[in-house]
Amino acid sequence: MFDMRAQLASKFLSLNFFLLANEKNDDFTVPVSQIKKWMSDFYGWAQEMFKDRPYYAYGRNVTFAVEDGVFNKEKLKAVMEAVSEMGFSVFLKISLRSLSENLDFMMELSKQKCLGSLMVTIANKEVDALGDVEAIFARIKKMKVAVTLLGSMKDFFIAGAFSSPSLNGSDVCFFLQEPEACDKLNTLSKEMTPCQEKMVLCVNSEGLIFPCAGLMSSPRHSLGSVFDKDFFSTFRMEGDILEWAFVGPDLLPEGPVLSESGMPWPCRRHVAEVLTNG
Ligand code: SF4
C-alpha cells in the first residue's frame, strides 16, 4: 500500500535550522552539541531511508538562519564545520546588515570550506545605514560561494544590486521573497495545489520541528523536537499535515491574510486561517 507518511518523509532531504543565541551568548538556545547529535541522526535516517535510491543522498543541504545582532562565532563555526564534515552542503541565511558586521568571519568560513552558500536578506530600511553597499558586495564576491539575495524588487534597486559591478557576471540568484503581484491579486486565483513540493523540515530556535516554514507559528503542527529520543522513528505526521501535503489546504476564497512576512501569499492566507481557528 502507498505509504503517504514515508512518501512525504522522503521529501525531507534538506532542512532549515533557526539559530538564536542563548542569554549568555555562549551557545545557541539549542546547544551545538545537541544540533550535532540530531544532525548525525538525520544523516543516519536519510541513509537508511534512501538505501535503495542512493542518488537521493546527493544534494542534501542545511540552511542555518542566524538572528540579527549577537551570535557566538565560535559556536556557529563549530556547528558549520561538523555538519559540512557529515556531507551536508551548508547554507547560511543572514541579513545584509549582520553580514556587513561580520565580513572577516564570513571570509574565514568560506576559506575553511564550511560555507557552501550565502543567503542574504535585504531590507530597504537598513540599506541607508550600511554606507558603501558596493564594498560589501565586493567582499561577498571574494568569498567565492554561491550567493542568493532575498528581498523585494524595491529592496534590490535601493541596494544597487542590479547595477553592482561586483555582482555583475557573478553567480548570484535574486529571490523575490514576496512577489508583488500576489498582493495586488489579493484573492485565490485558482485552487490551492498540494504542498508537498513546498515542504521542507524547519527547526525553530527552541528545537521544535515543522514540515514547512509557514507552520512554524503553530506549535500544535510540530512534528516533534530535536530533544525527542528517537525522533526519526516517532515523529508525528498525520491528519491535516498529510492532507495539506497531498491535496492542499481547503481555503475559503476570502479570509484573513498574514501581513509582513516573506512567505508566498497562499501560505500567508493559510497560516492566518490556522492561527485564527486555533
Ligand atoms: S500552504 Fe500551509 S501547509 Fe502548505 S506550505 Fe504553505 S503554510 Fe505550509
pLDDT digits (tens, 9 = 90+) for 144-190: 899 999 988 888 888 899 999 999 878 899 887 765 545 555 555 55
Residue 87: what residue type? G
Pocket test for ligand 1, best of 263, 271, 273, 277 (most atoms within 8 A of CB): 271
User: Is residue 112 included in any domain, yes or no?
Assistant: yes
Question: Rounded CA gap, 26 and 200, in Å?
Answer: 29
User: Is residue 36 included in any domain, yes or no?
Assistant: yes
End-to-end CA distance of the chain: 33
Please report how the helices 73-85 and 103-111 are oriented relative to each other, as an axis angle in degrees rounded to 10.
20
Which residue's CA is minimally distant from atom 6 of ligand 1?
267
Q: Could you tell me if the CB of 271 is within 6 A of ligand 1?
A: yes
Question: Rounded CA gap, 62 and 16, in Å?
Answer: 6
Pocket test for ligand 1, best of 12, 209, 212 (most atoms within 8 A of CB): 212
User: Is residue 42 included in any domain, yes or no?
Assistant: yes
Question: Per-residue pLDDT tens for 29-77?
Answer: 999 999 999 999 998 888 887 777 777 666 788 999 998 877 899 999 9
Question: Rounded CA gap, 194 and 217, in Å?
Answer: 20
Structural domains in the chain (count): 1
Distance (Å) from CA 215 to ligand 1 centroid:
7
Q: Could you tell me if the CB of 159 is within 6 A of ligand 1?
A: no
Residue 167: what residue type? L
Please name the residue that has the C-alpha cell 563549530: 78
Atom index in ligand 1 nearest the CA of residue 195 equals 4
User: Is residue 48 included in any domain, yes or no?
Assistant: yes
User: Is residue 4 included in any domain, yes or no?
Assistant: no
Q: Could you tell me if the CB of 270 is within 6 A of ligand 1?
A: yes
User: Is residue 98 included in any domain, yes or no?
Assistant: yes
| CA quadruple 76, 44, 211, 37: dihedral sign | negative
Residue 157, domain extent:
11-277
Give the pTM.
0.89
**Alpha-carbon torsion angle 219, 222, 227, 228, nearest 10:** 130
